[in-house]
Amino acid sequence: MKSVKTLFIAGLVLILTGSVIYALDCNVSFESVLRTQMSGFGQANDWVIDNQTDFCNFWDQAHMLMFPTPPCPDIDFSTYVVIVTAMGMQRNGCYNTEIYCIEEDQQGNYTVYVRDTVPGKGCFCPMMMVCPLHAVKAPIPTGTVTFSHSQFVMNCGGGGWK
């Protein structure tokens, strides 16, 4: 009986606070094209690339800190787009960003879910400026693309990685 009462109270709290538990329907398959902390993109931004010329320009800028720049891969832009999230310049190596889910609604609109990792308590982070970026290849959407960012705080506890 105590567990039923606890569940009732927890449910009531969720209703009163407006909190909703929502399971993501990650129904769009995607493949990472590039994930790096050392991109050439110092400003935070999200965008979609739909042609090879723009993709190769992006590729060159993303690799501007690397020598030699790796060749720009061919993407079949008649089938795919490249979806990019860049976190902008951050003050240490514990920052990162990741596209972890793409959800398509009934109208063909994509919601791209991005997890931005930031350091928490007790983390010993590499002391270097980073520009985290993640780019994925996904089927061309028939609607719009929106991005939903969530922040993940990496708490390292008693002074280091766990």
Query: Which residues does 103 contact at the CB level (< 8 Å), separation at least 6?
Result: 24, 25, 26, 27, 28, 110, 111, 113
Instruction: Judge whether 13 lies within some domain.
Output: no
Structure tokens at 112: 């791209």
Tens digits of residue pLDDT in 68-93 = 999 999 999 999 999 999 999 999 99
Average pLDDT over residues 2-13: 49
**Would the pTM of this model clear 0.85, i.e. be above it?**
no
Q: pLDDT by residue (tens digit) across 34-75? A: 999 999 999 999 999 999 999 999 999 999 988 899 999 999
The yes-or-no verdict on residue 17 having pLDDT over 60 is no
Confidence of residue 162 (pLDDT cuts 50, 70, 90): very low
Domain that holds residue 53: 24-154
User: Does residue 121 have a pLDDT over 60?
Assistant: yes
In a domain, 132, yes or no: yes
Residue 159 lies in a domain: no
Please indicate, yes or no, if residue 7 is contained in any of the structural domains. Answer: no
In a domain, 16, yes or no: no
| pLDDT of amino acid 2 | 55
**Residues of 48-63 as b/e, b for ≥16 C-beta within 10 angstroms?**
bbeebeebbebbeebb
* Torsion 31-37-38-43 (CA) sign: positive
State residue 67's pLDDT score.
Answer: 86
User: Structurally, how many domains does the chain consist of?
Assistant: 1
Question: Average pLDDT, whole number, for the chain?
Answer: 88
pLDDT category of residue 7 using cuts at 50, 70 and 90 = very low
Q: Is the pLDDT of residue 158 over 60?
A: no
Q: Confirm whether 162 is domain-assigned.
A: no
In a domain, 96, yes or no: yes
Predicted local confidence at residue 1, as pLDDT: 54
Q: Is 73 inside any structural domain?
A: yes
Q: How confident is the model at residue 5, as a pLDDT?
A: 53
Residue that wins the pLDDT comparison between 75 and 8: 75
